[in-house]
């Protein structure tokens, strides 16, 4: 039911957007695009996927043999689920497959993916804070967003770095939760504690992972900047560092199908000082391709993992 509701919300938002868009003008934006920059920007999906897979490999314990090919296939498989699950929750499926293939115990695999997702989110916050601090034209809205983004970064860093603060947060959250929400928070609390115990043992490795995550998100934001070049528009680099993360955050809200609709509306709204709504809508479609292309590439591997899982279950009976 929730999935149908998110699809409905996406359709409604897109209907509102495209009722105000000149469709022939939108088609003209794509016809007049720069083919070289279009190829470069779309092609960045490949190094981004490899970099994300390499980070997953670096997250593994040093004694664990975990090939880059396996990490890349898992990354692509998660992209399939990210297209249908809210807030990139498909990433958590990697924990199940990592455990199922015998690389790590289930709880440690889950804590590894939780850490990966947390470092991903905080890295996006870092670039958003950096961009907003240097964004030249701050009206009241942007000052408010800067404050809340900085608050989110500070809170996330506290959760990640302080086990006592994390325990306090989870205890207070579970005190007011009930039913399935309590169970989810309890599982996340236990995984978060295991994550702290595992990753803070090697601070050098922790610094490496943080650096990789920040660099990966730099590449993501560069890809969006290159999309703008491909559409023959222009946005200052610092402005893109501030605005692109805000649009991505809008797409992460668990309201729509794979962020479609909210992300498009955010791109049109935030980039309106630099180009019109037709270019903004075109940019929204290209940003959706950032999620669609890896999902298409991951379909064969996802099907393979599911088939192996079903075979293992059949043999266990």
Write down the residue that tokens 């991951």 correspond to: 298
pLDDT number for residue 1: 63
- Average predicted confidence (pLDDT) for the chain: 86
| pLDDT tens, residue by residue, 267-303 | 999 999 999 999 999 999 999 999 899 999 988 888 8
List C-alpha distances in Å: 51 to 65, 83, 298, 314: 18, 20, 15, 35
Lowest model confidence (mean pLDDT) among 95-104, 230-239, 240-249: 95-104
Residue 118 to residue 122: CA distance in whole angstroms: 6
Give the pLDDT mean for 124-148. 84
Q: What is the token pair recorded at 297?
A: 């590439």
pLDDT number for residue 200: 79
Please determine, for residue 236, whether its predicted confidence score (pLDDT) is greater than 90: yes
pLDDT number for residue 95: 81
pLDDT number for residue 123: 93
Concatenating the DSSP letter of every residue in 272-305 gives TTTS-HHHHHHHHHHHHHHHHHHHHHHHHHHHHH
| pLDDT tens, residue by residue, 73-131 | 988 988 888 776 665 566 777 888 888 777 787 778 888 888 888 889 899 999 988 88
Residue 249 to residue 175: CA distance in whole angstroms: 28
pLDDT number for residue 309: 59
Please determine, for residue 134, whether its predicted confidence score (pLDDT) is greater than 70: yes
With a CB cutoff of 8 Å and minimum separation 6, the contacts of 282 are 26, 29, 30, 33, 231
Axis-axis angle for helices 35-43, 45-59 (nearest 10): 20
> How sure is the predictor about 29, in pLDDT bands with cuts at 50, 70 and 90?
very high
pLDDT number for residue 118: 87
């Amino acid at each position: 039911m929730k999935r149908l509701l998110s699809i409905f919300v996406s359709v409604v938002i897109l209907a509102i957007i495209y009722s105000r868009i000149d469709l022939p003008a939108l088609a003209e934006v794509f016809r007049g695009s720069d083919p070289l920059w279009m190829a470069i920007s779309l092609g960045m999906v490949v190094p981004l996927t490899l970099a994300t897979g390499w980070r997953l490999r670096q997250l593994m314990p040093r004694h664990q043999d975990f090939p880059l090919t396996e990490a890349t296939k898992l990354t692509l498989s998660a992209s399939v689920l990210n297209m249908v699950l809210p807030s990139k929750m498909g990433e958590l499926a990697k924990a199940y497959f990592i455990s199922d293939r015998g690389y790590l115990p289930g709880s440690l695999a889950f804590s590894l993916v939780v850490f990966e997702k947390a470092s991903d989110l905080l890295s996006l916050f870092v670039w958003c804070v950096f961009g907003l601090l240097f964004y030249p034209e701050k009206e009241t809205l942007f000052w408010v967003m800067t404050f809340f983004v900085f608050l989110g970064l500070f809170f996330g860093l506290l959760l990640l770095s302080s086990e006592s603060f994390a325990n306090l947060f989870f205890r207070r959250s579970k005190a007011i939760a009930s039913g399935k929400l309590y169970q989810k928070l309890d599982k996340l609390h236990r995984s978060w504690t295991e994550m702290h115990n595992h990753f803070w043992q090697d601070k050098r490795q922790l610094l490496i992972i943080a650096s990789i995550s920040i660099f990966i998100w730099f590449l993501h934001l560069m890809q969006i900047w290159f999309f703008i070049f491909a559409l023959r528009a222009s946005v200052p680099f610092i402005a893109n560092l501030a605005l692109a993360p805000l649009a991505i955050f809008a797409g992460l809200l668990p309201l729509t199908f794979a962020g479609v609709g909210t992300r498009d509306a955010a791109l049109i709204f935030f980039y309106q000082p630099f180009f019109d709504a037709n270019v903004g809508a075109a940019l929204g479609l290209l940003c959706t391709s950032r999620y669609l292309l890896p999902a298409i590439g991951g379909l064969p591997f996802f099907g393979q993992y599911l088939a192996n899982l079903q075979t293992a279950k059949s043999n266990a009976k």
